Amino acid sequence: MTTTEPEALRARAEALHLHGLIAHWPEVATQTWLPPLLAWEEQERSCRSLERRLKTAHIGRFKPLCDFDWSWPKRCDRAAIDALMALDFLADASNIVFVGPNGIGKSTLAQNIAHQTLIAGHTVLFTSAGQMLGDLAALDSDSALRRRLRHYARPQLLVIDEVGYLAYSNRHADLMFELISRRYQNKSTIVTTNRPFAEWREVFPNAACVVSLVDRLIHNAEIIALDGESYRLKEARERADQRAGQRRARNAKS
């Protein structure tokens, strides 16, 4: 905001909680230094807010979309992902589910959307399914569990990575259902999984809530299917070929 109308300036000062400045408003309202002072304070607070949210989001290091090899996956709806980067799904509290084999880029896409959400001023939490469910299941006290569930339910965007890589107990399934239910039609959740939904009974064996869990997760959700060979495996082969070439070059010189 850069408007310099007196009423707008005062509203900006109040939003910044500059009570001392407001107390002397008649003396400062027409000063030329006031608009840049407010702009500096707004910019600094915005930067500090972003740094704080980045720290608590735990997104980790990731490859930006500008470096993503869109030609590698055999199946990947780039137009749909570009649309998701506009973040319109947050207003509808819609979910996103990335489904595909290991190493195809599901986590990278989720991290990019999460980072864009942070830049737009929203709160984000990125966690693996194993870490989150293990964290919740370790709590014995009902009050501690309720507090921790609020921790995962609170962010405007929650990313649950790697659902399907491990098998979980009925308690884990109940906790996942409770969390998804708390966020249902209220806040957006992104899930990455290497298992089609028909196989989620193998992820949560014998759990009675699996059908209801999937139903609430995918209702009003964007499901993005990816297919292809592991990109990590491709990079590992390229590194191995590069090292082999370097060894051959050294041997030829010697």
**Cβ atoms of residues 126 and 59 within 8 Å:** yes
pLDDT of residue 1: 45
The pTM of this model reads 0.78
Q: With residue 231 as reference, give the H or E element that holds it.
A: helix 231-253
Average pLDDT rounded to a whole number, residues 225-243: 82
Q: Using one digit for the tens of pLDDT, what is the confidence trace for 67-110?
A: 998 988 899 999 999 999 999 999 999 999 999 999 999 999 99
Spell out the domain ranges in the chain. 6-55, 65-233
**Cβ atoms of residues 223 and 193 within 8 Å:** no
Q: With residue 130 as reference, give the H or E element that holds it.
A: helix 129-137
Is the model's pLDDT at 147 over the cut of 70? Answer: yes
Q: Using one digit for the tens of pLDDT, what is the confidence trace for 38-53?
A: 888 888 887 887 778 7
CATH code of domain 65-233? 3.40.50.300
Q: Mean pLDDT of all residues in the chain?
A: 91
CA–CA gap between residue 185 and residue 109 (Å, rounded)? 23
In sequence order, the 6+-apart residues with CB closer than 8 A to the CB of 34 are 9, 28
Q: Which residue has the higher pLDDT, 228 or 1?
A: 228
Q: Residue 3 has which token pair?
A: 């408007």
